[in-house]
């Protein structure tokens, strides 16, 4: 019974570490986040633009030496994984400087694996059950990230559908007004055409 509770707590702990973050990046602004890792650690960044403008943003990943590991412009979504080549602080930046007035809502997840030293220590002491727990945790984290991604995609598609629907309604209303105006104009013109004018 204690073993089952231990397993559940480990799995829940793994899920909590994989939660996605939602941030708002204002126009002409840049938001950065940091992770301090050891050399050889596997890292990853997954992001998706949920709201704002054309659903695009500039993304940069910077290593501890100030070099750009990755730089993307006007991206709507992306996934970038790499292994840290040096120990230090890695920076993830989302820039909305190209936007004049529209803020962007970004959903992102920074996945940081265990350092090679910790993996070696665990490898010496690990047993089959711990490996299975780790695999289960990773699988659940992947499912959680996929669900959050699908929620964002659903929100984006719903927003597009509502925008399209409102435009169709406005265009239909405009067409109805034009049609009524043309009908009234034609009736008025025909009425004047058939009027009998008296010459005094």
Residue 152 domain flag:
no
Question: pLDDT for 88-130, tens place per residue?
Answer: 999 999 999 888 888 998 888 888 877 766 555 555 555 778 7
Residue 172 domain flag:
no
Instruction: Please tell me the total count of domains within the chain.
Output: 1
- Reference 47, options 61, 35, 36, 28; nearest CA is 61
* 200 pLDDT above the threshold of 60: no
Kindly provide the b/e burial profile for residues 105-129, where b requires at least 16 CB atoms within 10 angstroms of the residue's own CB.
bbbbbbbebebeeeeeeeeeeeeee
Half-sphere exposure of 82 (CA within 13 A, CB side): 16
Half-sphere exposure of 134 (CA within 13 A, CB side): 11
CA distance linking residue 77 with residue 107, whole number of Å? 9
Residue 84: give the domain boundaries.
18-116
Residue 30 domain flag:
yes
- Reference 91, options 41, 43, 163, 34; nearest CA is 34
Question: pLDDT for 49-95, tens place per residue?
Answer: 888 888 889 999 999 999 999 999 999 888 888 888 889 999 999 99
CATH of residue 50's domain is 2.60.120.680
Mean pLDDT of 187-193: 83
pLDDT at residue 18, as a whole number:
47
Residue 156 domain flag:
no
- Asked if residue 45 lies in contact with residue 80, where contact means CB atoms within 8 angstroms, the answer is yes
Beta-carbon count within 10 A of 7 CB: 15
Q: Tokens in use for 158?
A: 């719903």
């Amino acid at each position: 019974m204690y073993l089952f509770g231990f397993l559940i707590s480990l799995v829940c702990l793994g899920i909590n570490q994989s939660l996605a973050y939602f941030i708002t990046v204002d126009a002409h602004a840049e938001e950065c986040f940091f992770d301090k890792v050891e050399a050889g650690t596997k890292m990853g960044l997954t992001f998706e633009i949920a709201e704002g403008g054309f659903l695009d943003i500039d993304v940069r990943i910077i290593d501890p030496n100030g070099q750009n590991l990755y730089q993307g412009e006007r991206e709507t979504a992306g996934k970038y994984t790499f292994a840290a080549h040096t120990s230090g602080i890695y920076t993830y930046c989302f820039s909305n400087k190209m936007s004049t007035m529209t803020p962007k809502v970004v959903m992102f997840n920074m996945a940081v694996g265990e350092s090679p030293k910790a993996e070696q220590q665990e490898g010496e002491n690990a047993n089959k059950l711990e490996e299975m727990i780790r695999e289960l945790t990773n699988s659940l984290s992947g499912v959680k990230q996929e669900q959050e991604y699908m929620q964002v995609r659903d929100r984006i598609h719903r927003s597009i559908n509502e925008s399209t629907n409102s435009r169709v309604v406005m265009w239909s209303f405009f067409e109805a007004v034009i049609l009524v105006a043309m009908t009234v104009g034609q009736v008025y013109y025909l009425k004047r055409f058939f009027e009998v004018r008296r010459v005094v």
